[in-house]
A and B are shown apart, each in its own frame.
Chain A
Amino acid sequence: MHKKLIVIGGGPAGLAAAVSAVENGLSPEDICILERDSEPGGILNQCIHAGFGLHRFGEELTGPEYAGRYIEMAKAAGLTITVNAMVLSLTDDKKVTYVSPETGYVTCSADAVILAMGCRERTRGALNIPGSRPAGIFTAGTAQRYVNMEGYMPGKRVVILGSGDIGLIMARRMTLEGAKVLCVCELMPYSGGLARNIVQCLEDFDIPLYLSHTVTAIGGKDRVESVTVAQVDENRRPIPGTEVTYDCDTLLLSVGLIPENELTRGAGVAIDRMTNGAFVNQNRETEIDGIYACGNVLHVHDLVDFVSEEAAIAGRAAAEKILGKTAPAVHSVSVRTGFGVRYTIPERIDIPAEPAEEVRLFFRVTDIYKKVRLTITDGNGNVLVKKAKSAVAPGEMESLSLSVESLKALADAKCETITVALEEM
């Protein structure tokens, strides 16, 4: 079997990429979307709270409503979504192998592949909390699926480790459903979650948030019976004597997400150690020609609106490549991270002879800084772009745009690297 375009993953990224490919001239019959779950929509199906779509649709939607909009758009574009289809492997020459109850084991080749597999949660194993391994320890996302989709509660008295948005949202959700959330503790001196979630998920319900705290012990043999929390010093080591033990039956972990890149690695696509996703150019094309990546599989996003936007870029680029409309690059520039910047997307800019549009660089900072200037400098230290900000935080994506003129100048000067950095003012 052969398709012009295969999209792996039917979450918001995969759907937006496929819709964009159709908008840019590809016929929907030439596109195959493979989704392992029984319905499209990805993780949004379990995110029943509101807060999605303000940028994209100008109104505040719940996760299922946002997903529903894209499922409708995909249908309207004439696309079919193959559900219950689990992709097992991808090769560097773009052969995709999947299994599904209807079709069995299928290998399909493609002119282009878009990776949109999303991310998964870090688990306790990656964290090494001492103690035995009783039942009652869940990632916050697993608990979210149990409560919101399967319809049952994982526990009654809960401690949450990690103050990312999923942990905060679950603190409120479990409370509304009748559980007692004893506290949320966060290793860092600041919360990774949005300020609004601290107010409406914790303060509204008088749930304490302990910053610079971690879990040091889990009691109980068959089921969690207690969780011990201690304060940490500036090196994030527990301070003896500060331990407090809570009687509880459940520990939720909300300690971060990791892009799901097994297929990507299997195809030999180079992975950026900082994003845990593929290295990409501004079209979200990986280092293998015709393989693109977008959404949480590329880097962890906080807003699904930006996932849709990024996926549209990948979808358009894949359609243009398939239809032979891509202008070849005459020069490549690699994007480096300077002071205060953890990673950038893209990591590489491929400049055609006549660049037609600006390139927007997305990045995350390493820490909370007040009063800063964000800059892009070329290899000779000339500042190409600068922007002042009153505050930046690792939880929020920043961006700077390189104009068409700057791109031309970089190509003309054969400049090989540019650097994105932050200066304190």
Chain B
Amino acid sequence: METRELTCVVCPAGCKITVTLEDGKVTDVKGQTCPRGKTYAQNEVTHPVRTLTTTVLLENAAAGTKTLPVKTNKPLSKELLFAAMDELAGFAVKAPVTVGTVLLKDFMEPGVDLVACKTVH
């Protein structure tokens, strides 16, 4: 049996969670204040994931804005974060764009889309 102490990063409350593992399988999760904490803890000890927020190049914006904030609509495998940044290095979007628009479907992983975080005219 093995226990691991984690800090939940899903919301600013930052609950301290204790996970118990037996033969690599989660048998108990304690300390979370809400169900999202449990999901986080299970993922964290088996397959850690993180939401990526970054910017991409923006062309054609009326106010001369040069960057567009973007995010993955779901958390991405943590080990893919740097590969995702490389993937986006030359990627540019043309204004106008509306908040919530999917810019890249199945980005890096199936079911994870890259979406715009801002409306720019």
Residues of A with Cβ closer than 8 Å to B?
38-39, 45, 48-51, 54, 60, 62-65, 68, 147-151, 176-178, 194-196, 198-200, 204, 302-303
Contacts and interface: CB of A to CB of B under 8 A. Distances in A.
Interface of B: 6-12, 14, 16, 50-55, 57, 63, 65-67, 69, 71, 78, 81-82, 85, 99, 117-119
Contacts, number: 78
Contact of B118 (A65, A177, A195, A204): A65
A198 B12 CA distance: 11
A50 B53 contact: yes
Given A151-B57, A176-B85, 14 more contacts: A50-B51, A50-B53, A62-B69, A62-B71, A64-B117, A148-B69, A149-B66, A195-B7, A196-B11, A198-B7, A199-B7, A204-B50, A302-B12, A303-B12
Contacts of A178: 85
B117 A65 contact: yes
A172 to B, nearest CB: 10
A65 B118 CA distance: 6
A151 B7 contact: no
B117 A149 contact: no
Given A68-B119, A176-B85, A151 B67 contact: yes
Contacts of B53: 48-50, 62
A176 B14 contact: no
Contacts of B67: 148-151
Contacts of A199: 6-7, 9
Contacts of A149: 65-67
B99 A68 contact: yes
Most buried by B among A49, A196, A198: A196
Contacts of A194: 12, 14
Contacts of B71: 48, 50, 62
